[in-house]
Every structure is written in structure tokens, then in C-alpha cells.
Amino acid sequence: MKILIVDDFSTMRRIIKNLLRDLGFTNTTEADDGLTALPMLQAGDFDFLVTDWNMPGMQGIDLLKAVRADANLASLPVLMVTAEQKREQIVEAAQAGVNGYIVKPFTAQTLKEKIDKIFERIDGGG
């Protein structure tokens, strides 16, 4: 399982990376915004994307849309981990095809639940 973590704050990337390692996901790579993440996704064989929303360059929501618009990446599971908590934004992310949405500050337990749920659905074919 190869995971790309996208956040402009390195502290948050480290936190997510450590939490993922605790959950058994050791193969993680980091990017600091959508502009650097997109070519990495297109070039690499990532199985999962964890992204922030509010970033300079390309924002997480635009990265999500770009992923869904790319035939090779369209089915990549995307989990958004963000401080953005306007209802309008959550609806927008859902409509853009996000697989999970976590608001900061979050707990290790929340991250585990959302990831489990995403893979349950994928494994269940739903």
C-alpha cells in the first residue's frame, strides 16, 4: 500500500505519517501542495491519497478534481484531512468525489475509522 500525504505544513505531514505507520502503512511519500503532488501521482503507483485543502499553489479540492479528471487516477481513493469546516465545502468535496473527510484537529482513532471505512467499501465493491 503506497500512500501520498499532501499538506503544506510539514508538522501535519509528520503527524499523519506517524499515525499511518502505527496503522501498519509504512510506505508513505510526502508532497507540500497539489502542484507537486499531481505529477507524483501521475508518475507513481500510489494506492491512496491523503490531502489537506488549504494550500498555496494548488489547493486540495483542485487536486481532488484533477485526480478524478485523470483517467489513470480516477479511481484512486482520496481522504481529505483539513481545517475547512464550512458545510458548503464538505458538500463540494463530496460532489467532487472525495472518499472521506476528516476535520482538524482529529484523533488517531478517527483516522483509523475513516481509512477502514474507505477500504471496506472498496473491498466490498461499493
Quote the Cα angle for 59-92-34, to 5°. Answer: 15
29 counts as binding another protein under rule CB under 8 A: no
Kindly state whether residue 27 participates in binding another protein, applying the rule CB under 8 A: no
Hey, what long-range contacts does 14-17 have (CB within 8 A, 24 or more apart)?
Answer: 16/50, 16/81, 16/111
Angle formed at CA 33 by CA 28 and CA 34, multiple of 5 degrees: 95
Answer for which of 15, 38, 76, 79 binds another protein (CB under 8 A) is: 15
Least distance (Å) between residue 18 CB and another protein: 6
Q: Whole-number minimum distance, CB 63 to another protein, in Å? A: 12
For position 85 contacting another protein by CB under 8 A, the verdict is yes
Number of residues that bind another protein (CB under 8 A): 33
- Contact between 28 and another protein by CB under 8 A: the answer reads no
Q: Is 51 in the site for another protein (CB under 8 A)?
A: no
Q: How far apart are CA 97 and CA 70, in angstroms?
A: 13
**Cα four-point dihedral sign 91, 92, 93, 96:** positive
Query: Judged by CB under 8 A, does residue 73 bind another protein?
Result: no
Which lies closer to another protein via its Cβ, residue 29 or residue 110?
Answer: 110
